[in-house]
Structure 1
Amino acid sequence: MDQLFIAERIKLKPVDNPTLLGVRQKFNEEYGRRFGKTKGTGLYSETDWRRLDWVLDQIPEDCRTILDVGTGPGALINTLALSDRFEAVNGIDVRQYTKFVSLTDKFTLDIMDATQMVFEDNQFDCVICMEVIEHLPDGKMEAAIAELRRVARKRLIMSVPFKEPEPLPHYHLQRFDEERIQRVFPRAEYELVGVERPVPWAFLTESFRD
């Protein structure tokens, strides 16, 4: 475990997932049609799409239900729904992103606080929560992590910025280094993921028995 952060980060390869490539094209077209921009908040960068491609490979083949926590502009939840891998695709966010893009009706999106989910225990085979918990204050962060674990049946995939320079940006309330990650996520496997980015993501995967 201690060796992880000494090794070089995983270099994200160009996107080669056919579903994701199709979603990327449609997402960018719809974003431009609705918001009249080719750049801006909500429009994913090359690195963001590569990261989603990497995350899709981490979802076990036997997972049939999935939850995206913190859907943001919607790139991941659209990809999950259009992949036809899952019997049920759900997403939650504390509020709908102002530039949310929907490409299909094959998912359910609820406005819900991650610290107080209404889902049943072990409802989803896989739960994904990317770049969410660093925005939460003490107390709420721990509550959200407990809820993520509660509703996940087989796998929980999370990501956080790793070793952000201080002072943190105003929208980040938590900082994660080796010691903090190992203390907050003692059961997780960790990998550093990033490309052409000063601060890599730490991806944390927890697996559960059926």
Structure 2
Amino acid sequence: MQADWRLTEIERARVADLMAMLPPQAGTAVDIGARDGFISMALADRGVSVTALDLEQPAIHDPRITCVKGDATALDFADGSFELVFCAEVLEHIPSVLLETACAELARVARRHLLIGVPYKQDLRLDRSTCSNCGKTNPPWGHVNRFDEKRLSELFAGCRIAQTSFVGQTSEVSNFLSTRLMAAAGNPYGTYGQDEPCIHCSAALATPVARTLADRCLDQSCRAGP
């Protein structure tokens, strides 16, 4: 069954944009972070022989797709195994200390093309959550890395950028004071519905309990700020 978020306007636009950037005649591809197989099946529909990889072996029941369990930081493939390495909505979740290793692995197994999709200049101070288990702060949607052109060029220094595209836009930003006030209020507007667990203790993030009057006052102070 297709996940509801796949039907949102921004998700449809994101996938369409990625598909439009596919190189012609990419005979073989690995889909890094395949999850539900939505992208893997879209690639297969375009005649690509697809290997779908995730930390847990994907359960994609499609004879055109080979499902494997694997880690982007240590890919069990020979150099240049795939004409296309497809990696979208993954690198922002990789622990920062392993990010360079993961990017080097993607480049290593790509014979010709890398197609990378990441959030652009995301303000990771927005929509933070507070873990009810350990009390520590989490970034939105488990995103621990921020990207722009310079950062991507550094991470894929041995590659030539052939095309860049952008989907959607936002004007939302935060600041030091708002971030501190929101944290003091318990980060009530965080992304608690996300699948990703706490980055500190791996517990599932739970919606905060009812807030006190003091919490609500802090919240209003934050929302009234610049």
CA-CA distance at 1:95 after TM superposition: 2.0
Structure 1 stretches of 4+ with a deviation exceeding 3 A read: 185-188
Q: Which residue of 1 aligns with 2:24?
A: 61
Deviation at 1:160, TM superposition (A): 1.2
Look up the match of 1:126: 84
Local SS of the residue matching 1:191: coil
Q: 1:89 corresponds to which residue?
A: 50
In the alignment, what sits opposite 1:105? Answer: 63
Which runs of 5 or more residues in structure 1 are unaligned? 1-29, 32-37, 200-210
- Residue matched to 2:93: 135
CA offsets per residue over residues 14-67 of structure 1, 9 Å max, x none? xxxxxxxxxxxxxxxx33xxxxxx735xx4422222222222222222321111
Corresponding residue number in structure 2 for 1:198: 170
Is residue 52–residue 66 contact of structure 2 (8 Å, CA) maintained in 1?
yes
The one-letter code sitting in structure 2 at the alignment partner of 1:121 is D
* Structure 2 counterpart of 1:12: none
Q: 1:89 is paired with a residue of what secondary structure? A: strand
Hey, which of these two has a bigger chunk of strand by percent? 1
- Measured in 1, the distance between the counterparts of 2:95 and 2:160 equals 21
- More RCO (CA 8 Å, sep 6+): 1
Structure 1 equivalent of residue 142 of structure 2: 171
Taking the aligned partners of 1:174 and 1:74, their CA distance within structure 2 comes to 24
Instruction: Show structure 2 runs of 5+ residues with no match.
Output: 126-138, 172-226
What is the identity percentage for the equivalent residue pairs of Structure 1 and Structure 2? 30
Residues 192, 55 of structure 1: CA spacing in aligned structure 2 closer, same or farther, 3 A cutoff? closer
Q: Confirm whether residue 181 of structure 1 aligns to residue 152 of structure 2.
A: yes
Structure 2 contact 103–155 (Cα < 8 Å) conserved: no
TM-score for the superposition, normalised by structure 2 = 0.61
How many residue pairs get aligned? The number is 156
Give per-residue Cα distances to partners, 1:154-199, cap 9 Å, x unaligned. 100111111111324261111123443333234442624113x428
